[in-house]
Structure 1
Amino acid sequence: MPEHRTDPPSIKLKSSVKGMEASNILKKTESKLLGERIRQTVFTLGVIKRQYEELETTIRSHVSRDLANRLAEVVERSRNRNTGSARCVKYYDRLREKSSPVLDTTLSQQQERWVVNKSDRELNDDEKSLLAKGMNYAVSPTSIPTIDLITGVELACNKLTDKTEKDQVRAEAVKVIGSSHAPKSNLTPGERKAMKNLRTDESVTILPSDKGRCTVVLNTTDHKQKVDDLLSDANTYTLLKRDPTRKYKEQLRGILKRLCDSDRITKAQYYLLMPSSDTVPRFYGLPKVHKPLSPLRPIVSSIGSVTYQVAKFVADIIAPLVDQSPHHIKNSADFAERMGNLTLHEGEIMVSYDVTGLFTNTPVPDALRVIRRRLEEDVTLPDRTTLSVDDVMELLTFCATSTYMMGLGKIYQQREVFAMGFPVSPLASNIFMEWFEVRALDTAPHVPS
C-alpha cells in the first residue's frame, strides 16, 4: 500500500502561484511547519510533566503516604478515563480516511473520466496515470535541447542587420545555455517507462477525443478501418494518382508574384505567403466517444502546407463578415441573456437543430458566391486590406479548391466541400449558414448568381 500524508489541516498551505516548483515549495514548507509543531508539542508536554512532578512532590510533603497513594490512584483512573488519547487516535484515523481512500478514489475516477480505452490492450496504473495527463501535457526534457536553442537563436539573428547586435545576442544565448540545467522530471519513473512502452506499441493508436478532452486508446486496425471508411466516401474524396504539391506550389507563386508586382501586396507579405515547404496535409480522425461505436470526425492538418499561410491571411480578411446575422449567438453568456427574456406559451416548445458535418456539407461554389456578395457590400474592406474583392476571392478560391491530403499512405482530393482543420473552413461555413438562416425565415433559400 502506498504511504499517504496525514498532515493536520492547520498546516495546509495554499497559494495563487501555480506550477510544479510552487507545489514543491508548499510541500517543503508544510513539512517544516509540521516539524516545528511537533517540536513545540513535545516541549509543552515536557513542561506539563515537570509541573505534574512538582505538584506531586508538594502534595506528598503535606499528606500521609496512604492518602498520597490514594490520590495518585484517583489521578491515574481519571487519566485513563480521559478520552484525549482516544480522540487523537480518532483524529488520526479521520486524516487517513481523507488522505488515503478519497485520494485513491479521486485518482481512479480521474483516470476513468480522462482515459477511454477502446483497445484490446489492458492498461496498467502507470499508463492510465500518464494518459490522464492529456495529449497536450508538456513532458520535461531529460537534457537541455542545445541544438534546437542554437537553431532558434540563429534564425532570430538572421533577421538582424547590425553585426554587433547579432554578436551580443549570440553571447547572451551562450551564457544562458551554458548555465542552464535540465528541469526536474514531471513524470514518475513508472510513467516514463509507460510512455516508452506506449510509444513503441504499434498495435494501439492514441488520440484526443473529439469532445471532452479525454485521451482515447484504439486498436490500430480499428482506427485504420474507420479512416478507410471515411476516405472511401466517393462523394467527398477522390483518390489521386500523384502528389499535386508541386503543381499547387507553382500556381500559388504565380498568383502572389502578380499581386506583388502590381503593389497589391507588399514584399513582406509576398515572402510571408510564399510557400516554402512541400508538406502534404495530413488526414486523421478524432473519435467521438460520446456516440455509439465511437465514429471519427475527419480532420485535415494543413499546418506547413502550400496554402496554409495564405488561408490564414484570407481568414483575417473575411473574419469580420461573421456575426452580422441578428440570429448569431456569440457564446453561452449571449445565449443565456437572450433566453432570459423568452417566454414559452402553452403548447410551445423549444427545439435546436444541428448540421451534420457542417464543413464537409458546405458546398464550396455556393459559399464562395455568398462570400463575394458579402465582400462587395462591406464598406470596411479597404480598412483591412489593399486587395480588391476579386483579389481576395482569387486567393480564397485557390485555397478552397486545392484541398488535398494524405491518409493511410495515399493522397486524396476533397471534392467541393470545406475541410475541418483548414483556417478558412469555419469562417466560410459560418458566413454561408448565416446567409442561409436569414433567408430561410422569409423565403426559400437561393444562392446569389
Structure 2
Amino acid sequence: MHIAYNKNFHKIKRENLKKIDDLCRKKRNQIDIQEKWLKNLSNKTLPETVRNILSLGSKFSIPTTKKDIKVDSLIADLEYVLLGVTEDRRDVLRAQATNTITNFTHGNNNRSSSIQKWYKDAKKFLKDNDDLIVLDSDKGGVTVIMNKSEYERKIQSILDSKEFREVPKDPTQTIQNKCNKFITTLCERGYISDQQAKQMKTYNSTCPRIYGNPKVHKPDNPLRPIISSVNSPTSKLAKFVADILKSAYNPNNDYYIMDPFDFANQINDFQLPNNHKIASFDVVNLFGNLDKNNIIKILEKKWEQIQEHANIDKELFLEITLFILENNYCTFRGKFYQQVFGCAMG
C-alpha cells in the first residue's frame, strides 16, 4: 500500500513539475525585446545574447542561484538594515530572514534557462571588455552602453565646472561629527527622543559618489549628474528636514502636478482657444541652479506654515538646513569635490 502510494505520488509530482517547466518556457519565449530599449554609444559590437539581456533593462529580475548568494555579506547587510527598525521587531525579522535564506540555500533553484545563459554571456563579455560601462538613460528607460573613457571624461567636465571645487581630503568624518552634534542638540532640547537620536546618528558614513545618466534624447548625449547619498553623513539629518517640509507643503494650489498621469488627466479634453499656442519649456539643471541663500529666505518667509508641522525652533531648523545645503560633496576617481553652487541631484 505504502509503495503504491509513493509511486503515484512521484508520478504526479513529475507531471506537475513538467507542467511548471513548460509554463516557464512558454513565458520566457514571450519576452518582448525591442532594439529601442538599448542604445550602444560605444565603438564595439555587442553579441546577440548580450543585447537581449541588456535590452530587458536594469529592473528586470534575473533568477538568483545559490552561487550568487554570499551568506556572510547578506547577514551583514541585514543587520545594517535592522538598525533602522525598533528593537522589539528585530528578532522576529531575523527569524523570518533566517528561514528565507535557509529555504533558498537548500532548495532546488539552480535550473538553467535561456535568460541565465544570456546573463552569463553578458557577465563574461563585460568582464572581458572592462573599458565599457552600462548605464540607465536619463529618460525613457533605455539601457546605454558607453566607452568608460568617454563617460569619465563627461563626469570630469562637470566636476571641473564652476559649480564644483576640489577639496584636499575626504571631509566625511568632519561632516559626520557635526551631524551627530546637531542630533545631540535636537535630543537635548526635547525635539527628538533618545531612541530617534540613536537611530539618526552615524559612525560609519561613506562619501557620496557621483554618477551620470546619459540624455540619449539630446545631441552628444550629455550626462545628468546624480550624487548618491546612501549612507552619507548628512542623509538621516536631511531626511529629518525633508519630512518636515513634505508635511508642511500644501498641494492644493494652481501649480501642483502629482505626476505625468495627473498632468494627462488635467489636459484631457482641453480645448486650445483660437490664436493661442502651447509652449513646453525645458528646465536646464534644475537642482544645480537653486541658490541656497534663496532657499533659506523662502523657508524664513514660509516659517509660519512650516512651524505647524515642525517641533523645532526656527533658528535651529534653518541652521541645520543651511548646513546640509553647504555640505554637498562627492568623490570621483579617488578625488573629492564640494558643490559650491546649487543643490545636489540625488
**Which residue does the alignment assign to 1:77?**
none
CA contact (8 A) 1:265 1:387 kept: no
From 191, 213, 221, give the equivalent of 2:149: 221
Tell me the SS of whatever aligns to 1:357: coil
1:393 paired to 2:315: no
Report the Cα offset of residue 325 of structure 1. 3.4
**Which residue does the alignment assign to 2:59?**
136
TM-score (norm 2): 0.80
Report the Cα offset of residue 178 of structure 1. 6.3
Tell me the SS of whatever aligns to 2:302: helix
In the alignment, the residues of structure 2 paired with residue 171 and residue 117 of structure 1 have an alpha-carbon distance, to the nearest angstrom, of 41
CA contact (8 A) 2:331 2:337 kept: yes
1:249 paired to 2:176: yes
Change (3 A) 1:338 1:174: closer
CA contact (8 A) 1:142 1:185 kept: no
Letter of the structure 2 residue corresponding to residue 288 of structure 1 = K
Report the Cα offset of residue 370 of structure 1. 0.5
User: What per-residue deviation string (whole Å, max 9, x for no partner) do you get for residues 333-380 of structure 1?
Assistant: 443444357543332212232221110011111012102322323463
Report the Cα offset of residue 216 of structure 1. 0.5
**Which residue does the alignment assign to 2:329?**
404
Letter of the structure 2 residue corresponding to residue 184 of structure 1 = R
1:300 paired to 2:251: no
Tell me the SS of whatever aligns to 1:130: helix
CA contact (8 A) 1:140 1:184 kept: no
**Which residue does the alignment assign to 2:217?**
290
**Which one has a bigger Cα radius of gyration?**
1
From 199, 224, 241, give the equivalent of 2:127: 199
Per mean C-alpha deviation after superposition, the further-off stretch among 366-375 and 324-333 is 324-333
**Which residue does the alignment assign to 2:111?**
184
**Which residue does the alignment assign to 1:436?**
none
User: What per-residue deviation string (whole Å, max 9, x for no partner) do you get for residues 283-319 of structure 1?
Assistant: 1111001111101111101111001111122211101
User: What per-residue deviation string (whole Å, max 9, x for no partner) do you get for residues 59-98 of structure 1?
Assistant: xxxxxxxxxxxxxxxxxxxxxxxxxxxxxxxxxxxxxxxx
**Which residue does the alignment assign to 1:9?**
none
In the alignment, the residues of structure 2 paired with residue 239 and residue 22 of structure 1 have an alpha-carbon distance, to the nearest angstrom, of 61
Change (3 A) 1:362 1:170: closer
User: What per-residue deviation string (whole Å, max 9, x for no partner) do you get for residues 392-439 of structure 1?
Assistant: 323222211100001232111001311100xxxxxxxxxxxxxxxxxx
Report the Cα offset of residue 323 of structure 1. 2.8
Tell me the SS of whatever aligns to 2:338: strand
Tell me the SS of whatever aligns to 2:152: helix
CA contact (8 A) 2:53 2:118 kept: no
User: What per-residue deviation string (whole Å, max 9, x for no partner) do you get for residues 26-66 of structure 1?
Assistant: 36899xxxxxxxxxxxxxxxxxxxxxxxxxxxxxxxxxxxx
CA contact (8 A) 2:139 2:215 kept: yes
Tell me the SS of whatever aligns to 1:345: coil
Matches within 5 A, 1:354-373: 354-373=282-301
**Which residue does the alignment assign to 1:258?**
185
Change (3 A) 1:22 1:220: farther
Tell me the SS of whatever aligns to 2:212: strand
Question: Which structure carries more relative contact order (alpha carbon 8 Å, separation 6+)?
Answer: 2
The percentage of counterpart residues that share the same residue type is 26
From 411, 415, 421, give the equivalent of 2:340: 415
Letter of the structure 2 residue corresponding to residue 410 of structure 1 = K
Tell me the SS of whatever aligns to 2:213: strand
1:121 paired to 2:30: no
**Which residue does the alignment assign to 1:345?**
273
Report the Cα offset of residue 214 of structure 1. 1.1
**Which residue does the alignment assign to 1:17?**
none
Letter of the structure 1 residue corresponding to residue 334 of structure 2 = G
In the alignment, the residues of structure 1 paired with residue 196 and residue 128 of structure 2 have an alpha-carbon distance, to the nearest angstrom, of 42
From 280, 285, 301, give the equivalent of 2:207: 280
**Which residue does the alignment assign to 2:12?**
none
Show structure 2 runs of 5+ residues with no match. 1-17
Higher helix share: 1
Change (3 A) 1:177 1:328: closer
In the alignment, the residues of structure 2 paired with residue 114 and residue 29 of structure 1 have an alpha-carbon distance, to the nearest angstrom, of 22
In the alignment, the residues of structure 2 paired with residue 29 and residue 346 of structure 1 have an alpha-carbon distance, to the nearest angstrom, of 54
Tell me the SS of whatever aligns to 2:122: helix
Report the Cα offset of residue 147 of structure 1. 2.7
Tell me the SS of whatever aligns to 1:395: helix
In the alignment, the residues of structure 2 paired with residue 301 and residue 167 of structure 1 have an alpha-carbon distance, to the nearest angstrom, of 28
Change (3 A) 1:28 1:196: closer
**Which residue does the alignment assign to 1:427?**
none
In the alignment, the residues of structure 2 paired with residue 160 and residue 339 of structure 1 have an alpha-carbon distance, to the nearest angstrom, of 49
Change (3 A) 1:184 1:376: farther
Tell me the SS of whatever aligns to 2:233: coil
Tell me the SS of whatever aligns to 2:311: coil
CA contact (8 A) 1:117 1:218 kept: yes
Report the Cα offset of residue 161 of structure 1. 7.0
Report the Cα offset of residue 152 of structure 1. 5.9
**Which residue does the alignment assign to 1:380?**
308
Change (3 A) 1:290 1:254: same
In the alignment, the residues of structure 1 paired with residue 99 and residue 266 of structure 2 have an alpha-carbon distance, to the nearest angstrom, of 55
Tell me the SS of whatever aligns to 1:134: coil
In the alignment, the residues of structure 2 paired with residue 247 and residue 331 of structure 1 have an alpha-carbon distance, to the nearest angstrom, of 38
CA contact (8 A) 2:214 2:222 kept: yes
Report the Cα offset of residue 233 of structure 1. 0.6
In the alignment, the residues of structure 1 paired with residue 332 and residue 50 of structure 2 have an alpha-carbon distance, to the nearest angstrom, of 28
CA contact (8 A) 1:160 1:166 kept: no
**Which residue does the alignment assign to 1:267?**
194
CA contact (8 A) 1:240 1:411 kept: yes
